[in-house]
A = this chain, B = another copy of it.
Amino acid sequence: MSVRLTSQRYGKSSVRLTKVTRTADRHELMELAIDVALEGDFSESYLMGDNRRVVATDTMKNTVYALAADHGLTDPESFCLALARHFVDRNEHVTAAAIEAAQTPWIRIAGADGRPHRHSFVGGGSERRICGVRFARGADGEPATKVEAGIKGLPLLKTTDSAFRGFPRDEFTTLPETDDRIFATLLDARWTYAAGTIAVGAGGASGSEFDANETYERIRQTMIDVFADHKSLAVQQTLYAMGEAALGACAAITRVELAMPNQHRIPLNMVPLGKKNVNEIFVTTSEPYGLITATLERG
């Protein structure tokens, strides 16, 4: 039997980092969970257990902390880029490094004087700001960098302005048409920045006009606003409108992938209970759920 090793990839996952940056009147907090993965030719390890080319995953973990000490860490994107580049630069046999980061949201507490508190925070929910960087060594020696950012698990709900009508019916269709349902979801969105938008620099997106944090907040808020006001005829339509608005909100993004579960709130038939349900009482469910996805690209 002949066997080929057609993909090789390994790394360290869930490296959890807290960095505090202190200035006179303010402490900045960054908490990230980071996954590092390397691709390349490690076949001597897979085939023979010869580890001469296997950067230890423990070393990857140490590197995350070491580079975090030297980096401004004002945004996840530039740090992930610095990490990815480090591993490719250091290791000739590594053809690509992929870094994923998920940032824990912390909201600065309002201080007693009404101004933002110097150093205290309250948790910002289960939502995560994410970013993914892939730094690949090109065949010609030129690197190819891909920087993605996004949001994972943002809960959204509207109590009206959501319909679902006109869908095909067959012998297994029992769902009634509706003009007024609850629309609840948990938004995942991931967008791609055009090449060169974010540069590597020790202090963040250095030397650049581009503000990754402001951009993230703007895209997030744009999608929330579209969700809130959309007259939805289908989850698909609202998802598309949100993606289109995200592309419109930032010229530097070329592509956005969205996934929106339809977390059903099912109107309860209360006739057997001797009551009328005037679109008020719903059974909240977690499964099964609809899952609507799409990718939108500019141009």
Chain A residues close to B by CB (< 8 Å): 1-22, 27, 29, 31, 33, 35, 37, 42, 45-59, 61-63, 65-66, 68-70, 90-91, 106, 109, 111-112, 117, 119-127, 154-161, 163-175, 182, 186, 224-225, 227-229, 232-237, 239-240, 243-244, 247-248, 255, 257, 261-262, 265, 268, 270, 272-275, 277, 279-299
Contacts and interface: CB of A to CB of B under 8 A. Distances in A.
Given A45-B236, A157-B121, A272-B174, A290 B66 contact: no
A41 B74 CA distance: 42
A289 B14 contact: yes
Contacts of A248: 1
Nearest to A31: B284
Contacts of A169: 59
A185 B55 CA distance: 19
Contact of A50 (B124, B166, B173, B281): B166
Given A10-B291, A232-B49, A277-B69, A296 B3 contact: yes
The A contact surface, by secondary structure, is mixed
Contacts of A293: 7-10
A186 B247 CA distance: 37
B284 A12 contact: no
B237 A47 contact: yes
19 contacts: A5-B294, A10-B291, A14-B287, A16-B286, A22-B159, A29-B159, A46-B237, A49-B232, A50-B166, A57-B288, A57-B291, A58-B175, A59-B170, A65-B283, A66-B273, A69-B270, A111-B228, A122-B154, A122-B156
A66 B239 contact: no
A6 B256 CA distance: 10
A54 B297 contact: no
B296 A6 contact: yes
A186 B104 CA distance: 14
A46 B236 contact: yes
